Amino acid sequence: MSDRSSTYKAGALMLVAGGLIGAGIALLFAPQSGRATRKDICRYARRARRKGEDIVEDFTDSVSKMVDAVGEKAADILDHGADLAGEARREILKAMEHGHEKLEKQRARLSKFFG
């Protein structure tokens, strides 16, 4: 059992030593300090947030403009429909008056004919 225990201890020791060596090499070859890296990450996050806010603002503006345009078009269509309805009403009344005049002429003609 002591052989197995010593094998596990040696393996764990080698793993820790490898981690320390890897961390040391990473620090030696890092392009900049941790502080500079953290600043870069913060700057990138702020830029990304601003771009996201700009995109959301542009989207809401375009949706708002589209809603306004649709509302205006709907109002125009309703107004135009009301105008058409009024115009159609006038045309119907005009046609009825014209028909009434024709009936009166025919009545006068028939009364002359019969008497």
**Is residue 6 in a domain?**
no
Print burial letters for 16-39: b (CB count within 10 Å at least 16), e (below 16).
Answer: eeeeeeeeeeeeeeeeeeeeeeee
**What is the per-residue pLDDT for 64?**
84
18-48 confidence digits (pLDDT tens): 998 988 888 778 788 778 888 888 998 999 8
Q: What Cα–Cα distance (Å) separates residue 6 from each residue in 9, 14, 20?
A: 5, 12, 21
pTM of the entire predicted model: 0.42
Low-confidence ranges of the chain (pLDDT < 70): 1-2, 115
Domain that holds residue 98: 31-114
In a domain, 102, yes or no: yes
Structural domains in the chain (count): 1
Tell me whether residue 1 is in a domain. no
3-state SS, one letter per residue, for 90-101: HHHHHHHHHHHH
The two three-digit tokens of residue 103, written as one number: 């009936």
In a domain, 79, yes or no: yes
Cα 64–70–73 angle (5° rounding)? 140
Would 48 be classed as within a structural domain? yes
